[in-house]
Amino acid sequence: MKGERIMQSENIKLFDSELKVMDILWKEGIVPAKYVADRLTQELGWNKNTTYTLIKRCMKKGAIERTEPNFMCHALIAKEDVQETETNELINKIYDGSVDKLFAALLGRKKLSTEQIEKLKQIVDSLE
């Protein structure tokens, strides 16, 4: 997007409800707040005031920027940055900072296909 600035999310903590708002912006780009509110009303049954409050909270945190006319909203932080921050927090909080423990937990949950195993091997090989 022309003129868009994506910031690092390392200091921004988003709650699950705020991530629902952000997800729409990550998928759709620049949209009016009304569009976000209508989507979340339709998908989750939220009232518009709830969504507007969440948009304002995300703006205060620096995750969303609002422009006029029409209360246009766009994400200031990339989804990948939020995913990385959340993953690091999960690893540190639940798995004592051990990526090995996280992988063991993930891999032990279900049977992986040959294709999935091959993809994981490629990822590991690319890290070496």
CATH at residue 57: 1.10.10.10
Tens of pLDDT, residues 60-115:
999 999 999 889 999 999 999 999 988 888 889 988 888 888 888 877 777 778 88
Check whether residue 79 and residue 117 sit in a common domain.
Answer: no
Tens of pLDDT, residues 51-63:
999 999 999 999 9
Check whether residue 40 and residue 71 sit in a common domain.
Answer: yes
Residue 43 to residues 27, 36, 40, 103, Cα–Cα distance (Å): 15, 10, 5, 32
> Given CA atoms 44, 53, 33, 85 in this order, what sign does their dihedral have?
negative
Placement of tokens 């994506």 in the chain: 6
pTM of the model: 0.75
Check whether residue 84 and residue 113 sit in a common domain.
Answer: no
SS3 state at 71: coil
Check whether residue 73 and residue 108 sit in a common domain.
Answer: no
Check whether residue 90 and residue 105 sit in a common domain.
Answer: no
Average pLDDT of span 6-27: 84
User: Whole domain around residue 39: which residue ranges?
Assistant: 1-94
Check whether residue 45 and residue 108 sit in a common domain.
Answer: no
Average pLDDT of span 3-14: 60
Q: How many domains does the chain have?
A: 2
